[in-house]
Chains A and B, each alone.
Chain A
Amino acid sequence: MDLILFLTFAIIAVVCALSMALQRHPVASALSLIGVMVSLAVLYVLLGAEFIAAAQLVVYSGAIMVLFIFVIMLLNAGAEKMTHKAGLAEFLGIPLLLLFLAFSTWVITNATPAGKMIKFGNFTGGGPREVGWELFTRYVLPFEVTSILILIAIAGAVRLANRELD
């Protein structure tokens, strides 16, 4: 059952990502990106990371994407005009990206041991209890620093949204 679930949601993720890259309208791109995030959440559950899967659904596809769609609606963004100002990237971009993908695939297949299989249920250390324990013991200083980061981000966003550019 693992392989079927993995293949289904991996294909959904790749198709949604391609659709995000190819759609002309920002709202369609945003909805495709939500599709990618939801299928990645399913893959996180398969990997034994229940807490991260829930956070992915709540924080990413809930909060962040709603913020994106809110801004798209607020600015009334229409379909984009394609211009050909990309310069070198227009000709070299796709071949170089394919080269990058081939190279990273080669590195991954060489670096991972061949018999290494991931089976659902083999790793059970990803619940809220275990993640919370690590977060508040070993990682308590980074955790507090991120709270300061969030505070700075809130202050910066409020300041930016209130000010006119000279």
Chain B
Amino acid sequence: MREILPQELFTQAVPQAAYLILSAILFTIGIAAFLFRRNIITVFMAIELMLNAVNLSFVTFSNQFGKVDGQIFSFFVMVVAAAEAAVGLAIILMVFRNKATLQIDDIDSLKN
């Protein structure tokens, strides 16, 4: 392994911007899934992906400043995500019970 790969890969540290750009990429993919998917559960999962992306940048900034506060924030984001998942999935269950569909195009009672 060490003979094939260039030596810099083993010794170099990771630039901080790389973590933040990864977070931006994941957030963008989350927005894309949120916009283009038509299944209510998948749209909900896209929100979770966006929350995860934001958590990554919180933890990165916590590392940058050498303080633990960013990690506390991402801990609170996790707690809020858990509460949101419980309520959201209960709402999805109720919508399915009444409309018998998961397609968001068919759930338009509030439109017009």
Given A29-B45, A118-B13, A119-B13, A71–B93 Cβ distance below 8 Å?
yes
Q: Which residues of B contact A101 (CB under 8 A)?
A: 24-25, 28
Q: Which residues of A contact B5 (CB under 8 A)?
A: 4
B97 touches A68 (CB 8 A): no
Interface of B is mostly: helix
Interface of A is mostly: helix
Quote the shortest CB–CB distance from A2 to chain B (angstroms). 5
Q: Which residues of A contact B45 (CB under 8 A)?
A: 20, 26, 29-30, 33, 68
Q: Which residues of B contact A30 (CB under 8 A)?
A: 45
Footprint of B on A, CB under 8 Å? Answer: 1-4, 6, 10, 13-14, 17-18, 20-21, 26, 29-30, 33, 36-37, 40, 43-44, 46-49, 51-52, 55-56, 59-60, 63-64, 67-68, 71-72, 74-75, 77, 80-83, 85-86, 89-90, 93-94, 97, 100-101, 104-105, 108-109, 112, 116-119, 122-123, 125-126, 130-131, 134-135, 139, 142, 146, 149-150, 152-154, 156-158, 160-161, 163-165
Q: Give the residue name and chain of the A residue nearest to B17 (CB).
A: A112
Quote the shortest CB–CB distance from A48 to chain B (angstroms). 6
Q: Which of A14, A86, A122 contacts B25 (CB 8 A)?
A: A14
A36 touches B26 (CB 8 A): yes
Quote the shortest CB–CB distance from B6 to chain A (angstroms). 10
Q: Which residues of A contact B110 (CB under 8 A)?
A: none
A160 touches B90 (CB 8 A): yes
Quote the shortest CB–CB distance from B33 to chain A (angstroms). 4
B83 touches A20 (CB 8 A): no
A33 to B33, CA, bound (A): 12
Quote the shortest CB–CB distance from B94 to chain A (angstroms). 5
